[in-house]
Amino acid sequence: MQHQGKRPIGWMGIHRGHRAHPFEWLAEKGIFLVSLSAILMVLLIFVFVAREALPIVFGQMNSALVQPVIPPDEVDKHPPEKIREYLGLTKPQFAAMDKDTIRTLMEVHVEAQNEIPPHFRTDPDARANTTEWRYLVRPHQWTGYDQPSYIWQPVGQIHKYNIMPLIVGTLKTTCIGLLFAVPLAIGAAIYISQLARPRVREIIKPTIELLSGIPSVVVGFFALLVMATLLQQIFGYQTRLNAFVAGIALSFAVIPIVFSIAEDALTSVPRNYTQAALALGASRWQTAWQIVLPAALPGAFAAVVLGFGRAIGETMIILMVTSASEMSWSLFSGARSITATIAAEMGEVVRGGHHYRMLFLLGALLFAATFTTNMVAEVIMLRFKRRLEGKR
């Protein structure tokens, strides 16, 4: 009941001329506090995903294969803080260890360094800390490659953490997905909300909403086992599992969300707009195209933005359908998305290691991207609703 002004219950439910309701007052405060949980969750997600990624952002991780060694005998010559960093321990871990344990750990370190195959000793890449920003975003001339290239190859002696192939892979599949999904979804939304008979609408709308009930793992499975071969036969490209197949499968996941939001926006255009246009002799189509669609355009745009957010966050479809480690803009080659990388590699990483933190960094990037798209869509929708209500 939002229309009443001040609530009639005073502090602790004690209000002049009324019976006191302290329990009720407490319950209402409790309701308010619980309702803040959504805000709390968004904050917690941000804090705890970013927390695990921070050491990379601040350049505290070192993923170089060949590292300078401190001989165990020299343990007293260095400040303890340096030893702690050298061993990669957290402060409480380090504090709990006695001298002998630290010595043993340092010996293990020296041995591990001695076991590195000799040809890496002369390789400049083996000394590079690949978690530095320039290795993450700029192409690098890796030993054994013809030219500077973008490569994500975290497993192996030299960890190649270039995030560009993942970003390009994500954008590639997303764009293909949107290219298919948006015309279909918006077209269907126009038809259902403006042109279809009410009885047809009542049947078709829930049916399309049923599409959103198909779990993405099922869409991925369908693309992998049925669609991939079929599409290859039709288009005759080389790689069977490529970004194109993933993009089309992705569009199945995007269509329901774009459709239902666009349909909502089109339906919320006031009926007197339509009635005025029809009364002036416009056909149903002209009304839809020239009156309703322009009025609902911000809503349709917000639907596309949300569809984009959904597409870049979709995991299982891309994980199942396609993969690649090198960057390529070609639509018919493989693609590796941010989401699929996290899902595929998280199970095998050492907790707290640089690979683990890289994956959290990717997650934080993804969260930032979807947060932005959500906010943009939210603002557009808010303005759109206000304009329809006549408040500028």
Partner 1 sequence: MNSPAITSRSFRATKFDFGSFFFTGLTGLATLCILGILAIILFNILASGLPAISWRFISTIPKKDFFEPATTGVLPMILGTSIRVIVMTIFVIPIGVITAIYLTEYAPNLSPVTRVIRAAVNNLAGVPSIVFGLFGVGFFINFIGQGMDKALGHESVVWGQPALLWASLTLAIMTLPVVIVATEESLKAIPMGLREGSLALGATKLQTILRVVLPQALPGIMTGGILAISRAAGEVAPILLTGVAYYMADLPTKLSNQFMDLGYHVFVLSTQSPDIEKTRPITFATVLVLLVLTFALNFVAIIIRARVRKKLRALG
Q: Which of residues 177-236 bind partner 1 (CB under 8 A)?
A: 183-188, 190-192, 195-198, 202, 204, 206-211, 213-222, 224-226
Task: Give residues 314-373 in contact with partner 1 (rule: CB under 8 A).
Answer: 314-316, 319-320, 339, 342-343, 346-347, 351, 359-360, 363, 366-367, 370-371, 373
Nearer to partner 1, 66 or 357 (CB): 357
- 3-class DSSP state of 152: strand
How far apart (Å, rounded) are the C-alpha atoms in residues 218 and 160? 32
How far apart (Å, rounded) are the C-alpha atoms in residues 194 and 200? 12
In contact, 106 and 72? CB cutoff 8 Å: yes
Supply the minimum distance, in Å, between the C-beta of residue 381 and partner 1.
Answer: 9
How far apart (Å, rounded) are the C-alpha atoms in residues 369 and 361? 12
**Proportion of the chain in helix, strand, coil states, percent, rounded to 5:** 70, 0, 30
Cβ neighbours, 10 Å, residue 325: 17
* Those residues with Cβ within 8 angstroms of residue 170's Cβ, 6 or more apart along the chain or in another chain: 312, 335, 337, 338, 339
Q: Which two tokens stand for residue 278?
A: 């029809």
Q: Site mask, partner 1, residues 295-314, x = CB under 8 A?
A: -----------x--xx-xxx
Q: Site mask, partner 1, residues 63-82, x = CB under 8 A?
A: --------------------
How far apart (Å, rounded) are the C-alpha atoms in residues 196 and 236? 38
Nearer to partner 1, 186 or 291 (CB): 186
Supply the minimum distance, in Å, between the C-beta of residue 237 and partner 1.
Answer: 21
Supply the minimum distance, in Å, between the C-beta of residue 92 and partner 1.
Answer: 10
Task: Give residues 4-63 in contact with partner 1 (rule: CB under 8 A).
Answer: 7, 9, 21, 24, 27-28, 31-32, 34-39, 41-42, 44-45, 48-49, 51-52
Supply the minimum distance, in Å, between the C-beta of residue 180 and partner 1.
Answer: 10
How far apart (Å, rounded) are the C-alpha atoms in residues 61 and 41? 28
293 near partner 1, rule: CB under 8 A: no
Supply the minimum distance, in Å, between the C-beta of residue 255 and partner 1.
Answer: 6
Give the CA radius of gyration of the chain: 29
Nearer to partner 1, 70 or 343 (CB): 343
Distance of CA 145 to the CA centre of its chain: 31
Task: Give residues 234-263 in contact with partner 1 (rule: CB under 8 A).
Answer: 252, 255, 259
Nearer to partner 1, 65 or 248 (CB): 248
In contact, 164 and 140? CB cutoff 8 Å: no
Size of the site for partner 1 (CB under 8 A): 96
Supply the minimum distance, in Å, between the C-beta of residue 22 and partner 1.
Answer: 12
Distance of CA 315 to the CA centre of its chain: 9
Task: Give residues 100-159 in contact with partner 1 (rule: CB under 8 A).
Answer: none
Supply the minimum distance, in Å, between the C-beta of residue 149 and partner 1.
Answer: 26
Nearer to partner 1, 92 or 144 (CB): 92
Supply the minimum distance, in Å, between the C-beta of residue 134 and partner 1.
Answer: 25
How far apart (Å, rounded) are the C-alpha atoms in residues 120 and 84? 26
Nearer to partner 1, 159 or 310 (CB): 310
In contact, 128 and 142? CB cutoff 8 Å: no
How far apart (Å, rounded) are the C-alpha atoms in residues 202 and 40? 38
Nearer to partner 1, 36 or 350 (CB): 36
Supply the minimum distance, in Å, between the C-beta of residue 62 and partner 1.
Answer: 21
Question: Which segments of 223-242 does DSSP mark as H helices, in order?
Answer: 228-235
